[in-house]
Amino acid sequence: MSQASPSPIDLRSDTVTRPDKDMYAAMVQAPLGDDVFGDDPTVRRLEERAAELLGKESALFVPSGTMANSIAIAVSTRPGDEVLIESLAHSLHFEVAGPSRLWGVQLTPLAGVRGAVPVEAIRGAVRGEDIHLPRTALLILEQTSNLSGGAVLPLEYLRRAGETCREKGLKLHMDGARIFNAEVASGVPARDLAACADTVMFCLSKGLGAPAGSILCGSSDAIREGRRVRKLLGGGMRQAGVLAACGLHALEHGITRLAEDHDRARAFARAIATAGLPVTVEPPETNMVYVRLEDPGPGGHARLAEKLRGSGVLSVAIMERAVRFVFHRDVPPDGAERAARVVIDALRTPEPRGT
């Protein structure tokens, strides 16, 4: 009898995790109500816990991070406003132009350094009072910065950015999809990282391991209006406590173990970086590793990702910038070592001539 080949190592994203038996049990046991009417006790408990962890007055459970970001923009702007956004941020590249399609706002990208827009650039980008110009209303930063390799925005920078926004009359929204990765990597509590922001969202369905759902936190007024916008967008999920229970379990059990993902990402990156290959590997701060070919040629990163897929390692070529590998709780204990061997072998094997 032939031996079964090992299961693929899925490093496409930390969204691919599946609930474990304890999370399934929490779903089954969750008391339920109708969340649109505000009487699902499990959702209410999750929102209260999230607001407490992020240091905000109130919180709102929504289906996705994209919806949470969209609601934050809606409650902080009016049609015709300008939104300043770090040039690699998720809302600019991966949310289907929602801010302009839905809310009639103009996104103005500002170059950052590992996700951090210099405060001088923020200050200089704010428009003056002029009937010809849009009103600059909001700044969006992403924590951690995905396209910067999962980089952590430092606390001192965030404080300065927040002070600059207040000085200039801007709101600040933090796309904190992976803010708990930032907390674990930096040792700074998420509530301190979020203190500069008027609104902050985080995803339960990424490294924390829930099957769906994100949380938007902010002032009571912002979240009250956000609940109306959620209804407008079709985000009222009725007996949502089955998902909120997963979120509560994730917050209770999923944060501290993120350190394991960071350790495996570092081991994986170190193995590839020291193998003498024609690639650049950014030392990871959190759970993401970006591998850049020195001479990719057209479609080179996509071809590498496809080659790895054929060898049992799933990854994503991101905007032809690099191949991204994301570590999460469902990666097996030997996954980093096995995946690194596959990547090294693939890079050592030349592509056929003419490809």
* Distances in whole angstroms, Cα of residue 106 to Cα of each of 35, 82, 175, 179: 33, 5, 18, 26
Sequence-distant (≥ 6) Cβ neighbours of residue 287 within 8 angstroms: 14, 150, 178, 181, 207, 258, 261, 262, 264, 265, 326, 327, 328
d(CA 138, CA 70): 13
Q: Which pairing describes strands 136-142 and 316-318: parallel, antiparallel, or unpaired?
A: unpaired
Closest to 140 in 3D by CA, of 114, 99, 175, 115: 175
Sequence-distant (≥ 6) Cβ neighbours of residue 197 within 8 angstroms: 141, 162, 172, 173, 174, 176
Closest to 319 in 3D by CA, of 292, 285, 349: 292
d(CA 72, CA 68): 6
Where in the chain is CATH 3.40.640.10?
21-253
d(CA 321, CA 319): 5
Where in the chain is CATH 3.90.1150.10?
257-348
Closest to 13 in 3D by CA, of 134, 128, 136, 150: 150
Homologous superfamily in CATH for domain 257-348: Aspartate Aminotransferase, domain 1 (3.90.1150.10)
Residue ranges of alpha helices (H) inside the chain are: 21-29, 41-54, 65-76, 90-93, 98-103, 119-125, 155-168, 179-186, 190-193, 220-232, 241-253, 258-273, 300-310, 335-348
Tell me, what amino acid is at 148?
Answer: S
| Average pLDDT over all residues of the chain | 96
Tokens of 352: 């056929």
pTM as predicted: 0.95
One digit per residue, pLDDT tens: the chain, 355 residues? 445 567 899 999 999 999 999 999 999 999 999 999 999 999 999 999 999 999 999 999 999 999 999 999 999 999 999 999 999 999 999 999 999 999 999 999 999 999 999 999 999 999 999 999 999 999 999 999 999 999 999 999 999 999 999 999 999 999 999 999 999 999 999 999 999 999 999 999 999 999 999 999 999 999 999 999 999 999 999 999 999 999 999 999 999 999 999 999 999 999 999 999 999 998 999 999 999 999 999 999 999 999 999 999 999 999 888 999 999 999 999 999 999 999 999 999 876 545 4
d(CA 118, CA 160): 9
- Yes or no: is domain 21-253 CATH 3.30.830.10? no
Task: List, for residues 154-184, the tens digit of each pLDDT value.
Answer: 999 999 999 999 999 999 999 999 999 999 9
